[in-house]
Amino acid sequence: MTESLYRAPADAIAFTLETIAGLESLLSLPTYRDFSPELVNSILAEAAKFAEGELSPLNRSGDRQGCKLNSDGSVSLPDGFETAYQRFVEGGWNAAPFPADHGGMGLPAAVNSALQEMWHGANLSFALIPLLTQSGVHVLSAYGNDWQKSTVLPKLVSGEWSGTMCITEPQAGSDVGASRTVATPASDGTYRIKGSKIFISAGEHEASGNIIHLVLARLPDAPAGTKGLSLFLVPKLLINADGSLGARNDLRAVSLEHKLGMHGSVTAVMSFGDNEGAIGTLVGQPNEGIKAMFVMMNAARIGVGLQGLGIAEAAAQVARRYAEERVQSRAVASAENKPVAIIHHPDVQRMLGNIESHTQGLRALAAYMGSLQDIAAAGTDEKAKKLAQARVDLLTPVMKSHTTQKAFDIASETIQIHGGMGFIEETGVAQFLRDVRVTMIYEGTNGIQALDLVLRKLAMDDGETLAGLLDEINALAARLKTNNDYRLLRIGGALAAGAEDLKAAGQSILTQVYRTQSNTAGDAPAAASAAPFLTLFGLVMQAFLLAKGAEAAAVKLEQGNAAYSADFLNRQIGLAEFFTTDPLLDTASLRERVRMGNLAVKALFD
C-alpha cells in the first residue's frame, strides 16, 4: 500500500513564487518591506512542518471517524482536530495574511496562497475552518462597525474565534434572493434572527472559543429578492460589553449532513431563533447584505480554488509514488519478459504528465492571482493597481471553477493509475475524489461561476481586460518562438495558437452577450457557451504561466543557478512542453463549441 502522507512541494512552491508571482518585486512594496526572501522561505519551511507533522496524520483518521452531534447539542470533531486547531492558532497561522494593525502577520497574498495550498493538501477538512474565518475577516474589515472591528475582528484574525457563512436555505439553494430568514429590530439596536440555514461548514464545534455566524436575513419591511437581504453578525456565545463571553445565543445545530466526503468537517443544518430569536448586529447597511457578503464570497471563491490546488498536489504525489513502486507487466518496448514499475508504461506516463503539468499550472495560477491581489492592495502605481484589480475580478471565477474541475479530474486519474486498488478505500486515494467533489458546488457552482464570467466580468469592460492579458500572452509566445531551445520554440508556437483560440472565443462570447441582452424571447446563447469558454480560458492561463516558468527555468539553466537542480529546472520546461502539446490542444474544439453558442442545447431541449 502506498504511503499517502502529504509532503509540501518546497521547490515547486519557491520556484513559482519567484518566477510567476515575482516575489522579490512584491517584497519591495512598502507594505511588505519587513519581509525578505529569506524570511519568507523560513515561514514556508515552518508551515511545511506543521502541514506534514500536525495536519496530514489526521487526514485519514478524520475521514474514517467523522464528526458527531452529541445529545447536548455540541459537536465533536475527529480526534486530534481540536488540539491541532489550537496549535494552528498559537503558531499565528490564522493571522498570516492580515495586516499587523489587526493583529496579523501581514504576509503577501501570494505567499499566503502557498500556505493555503499546504493546509488544504495536508487536510482539507481541517483547513475549511480557517478558510471561512479568514473570509469573514475580509467582510468585517470592509463593512464592520466600530464595535465589530474593535471587539470581534481581532479574535477572528487570531483564530481564537472562528467564523461561518450562513447563506443557503432549504427552499432557496443557489437562488439566494428566495431566502426567508427574518431579522426583527429590537429596542437596544440589535436584531432578533429567526430562520434555518443549511450546508453550514464549521457551524458547530468546540475547537474555537466562539463561533461568529455571518447570516443573511430579511428585515420586516425589506423588498423582495436579493435587494432586500441584510447581513448580520450572530455569535454562538453572546459577547458582553467588555468583550467577555456570556450565555449561549438562541441558535443550534439541528443535524449534521451525511456527506460524500470531507467527513472530518462539520456541515450543519443551523436553526436560528427557536425561542425569542438569535441576537445579532447589522453588518453594513440595511438591505445591502449581498454587497457585503460578496466580499466574503469572493475571498472564499479564491480560497476554494486553493482547496482544489491542495488536493491536486496531494493526489499527484500519491500517483507518482504508486507508479514508481507498483511493478506490473513488461515494458512495451522491451524484449525482456520482465515486469517493470508501471511508470515505464506509456499510458501511465501520459496520465502522470497530465496530472503533474495541470497541478503545476494550477499552482502558477494561484501564485499569479495572489500577486495581482498584492499589487491591487499594496501597489504604489494607481494605474497598475486598477489593472491588477480588474484582472482579479476577471480571473476569480476561473480560479474557483477551473481549478476545482481539474483537481477532480486529477483525483479521478490518480484512482485510474492505482487500478483496482484505487477503488479500495484502504489505499486512501478515493478520499481525494470524495473530498474535492464539493468544491465544484459551493461558493457558487461552477456553472454559476461561468455565467458570472461571461455575463458580468468579461462584458463589464467590453473585453478590454482580457485583451490586455492576451497582449502579454502573445508577447511571451513571440519571444519563445525565436528561442534557440527547440522546447521553448514548441511551447511558444502552441501558446500562440491557444491565445488565438481564446481571443476568437472571447469575441464570440461578447457577441452572444449582446444578443442575450437585446433578446426578449429567452434565447441566451452566451449562457450555454459559458462553461466551455471558462475551460478554454483556464487552459490558456495555465499554458501562459507554465510557459513563463519554462522561460525562467531556461535562463536559470544557462546561468547555472544553484537554488534549483538541473533536473528540477528541466522538468519545469518539460511540464510546459507537455501541457502545451497535449491538454492545450483542447482549446480548438472549445473555441468551436463557444462559437456555436447554444445551438446544440436548443436542438435537444426546444
DSSP letter for each residue of 235-286: ESEEE-TTS-EEEEPSEEEEEE---SS-TTS-EEEEEE-SSS-EEEEEESST
Residues 159-195 have pLDDT tens digits of: 999 999 999 898 766 667 678 899 999 999 999 999 9
Report residue 74 as a C-alpha cell: 455540541
CA atoms within 13 A on the CB side of 377: 20
| Tens-place pLDDT, residues 11-42 | 999 999 999 999 999 999 999 999 999 999 99
Q: All 3 cell numbers of residue 156?
A: 477572528
> Would strands 191-201 and 182-185 be described as parallel, antiparallel, or unpaired?
antiparallel
Q: Is the pLDDT of residue 415 over 90?
A: yes
User: Distance between CA 164 and CA 201 in Å, rounded?
Assistant: 7
Predicted local distance difference test score (pLDDT) of residue 568: 97
Look at residue 519 in the predicted model and tell me its pLDDT: 59
8 Å CB contact between 172 and 178: yes
- Mean pLDDT across the stretch 410-432? 96
- What distance in Å separates the CA atoms of residue 7 and residue 59, rounded to the nearest whole number? 13
The DSSP H or E segment spanning 292 is helix 289-325
Q: Active site residue: 117, 160, 204, 443, which one?
A: 443
114-157 pLDDT, tens digit each: 999 999 999 999 999 999 999 999 999 999 999 999 999 999 99
CA distances from 258 to 69, 94, 199 (A): 12, 28, 11
Mean pLDDT value of segment 199-227: 95
What mean pLDDT is predicted for residues 255-273?
97
Active site residue 413: no
How far, in Å, CA of 575 to CA of 366, rounded? 17
How many Cα neighbours within 13 Å face the side chain of 204? Answer: 26
Candidates 397, 321, 305; CA nearest to 359 is: 305
Cα 303 from chain centroid (whole Å): 4
Query: Up-side HSE of residue 272: CA atoms within 13 Å toward CB?
Result: 33
With left for phi above 0 and alpha for psi between -120 and 50, is residue 553 left, alpha or beta? alpha
pLDDT digits (tens, 9 = 90+) for 507-563: 999 988 876 666 544 456 788 899 999 999 999 999 999 999 999 999 999 999 889
Residue type, 462: D
Q: Measure the CA–CA gap between 162 and 206, rounded to whole angstroms.
A: 10
In this prediction, residue 174 carries a pLDDT of 63
Amino acid identity, position 86 = Q
Using one digit for the tens of pLDDT, what is the confidence trace for 324-371?
999 898 888 777 889 999 999 999 999 999 999 999 999 999 999 999
Digit-coded pLDDT (tens) for 375-401: 999 999 999 999 999 999 999 999 999
**What pLDDT does 173 receive?**
60
- For 392, left (φ over 0), alpha (ψ -120 to 50), or beta? alpha
Torsion region of 490: left, alpha or beta (phi above 0 gives left; psi -120 to 50 gives alpha): alpha
Give me the CATH code for the 1-444 domain, please: 1.20.140.10
Residue by residue, DSSP assigns 493-537 as: HHHHHHHHHHHHHHHHHHHHHHHHHH--SS--HHHHHHHHHHHHH
Q: How many CB atoms lie within 10 A of CB 247?
A: 9
**102 or 525, which is more confident:** 102
Rounded-to-integer distance, Cα 46 and Cα 10, Å? 11
Give the per-residue pLDDT at 337: 83
Give pLDDT, residue 177: 66
Question: Which stretches does DSSP call E strand in 181-236?
Answer: 182-185, 191-201, 210-218, 229-235
Question: Phi/psi zone of residue 118: left (φ > 0), alpha (ψ -120 to 50 degrees), beta?
Answer: alpha
To the nearest whole number, what is the mean pLDDT of the chain? 94
**Residues 51-74, mean pLDDT to the nearest whole number:** 97
Neighbours of 262 (CB within 10 A): 26
Cα 270 from Cα 135, distance rounded (Å)? 19
CB-CB contact of 197 with 214 (8 Å): no
Q: Which residues of 389-422 are buried (b: 16+ CB within 10 A; e: fewer)?
A: bbbbbbbbbbbbbbbbbbbbbbbbbbbebbeeeb
Residue 453: the pLDDT is: 96
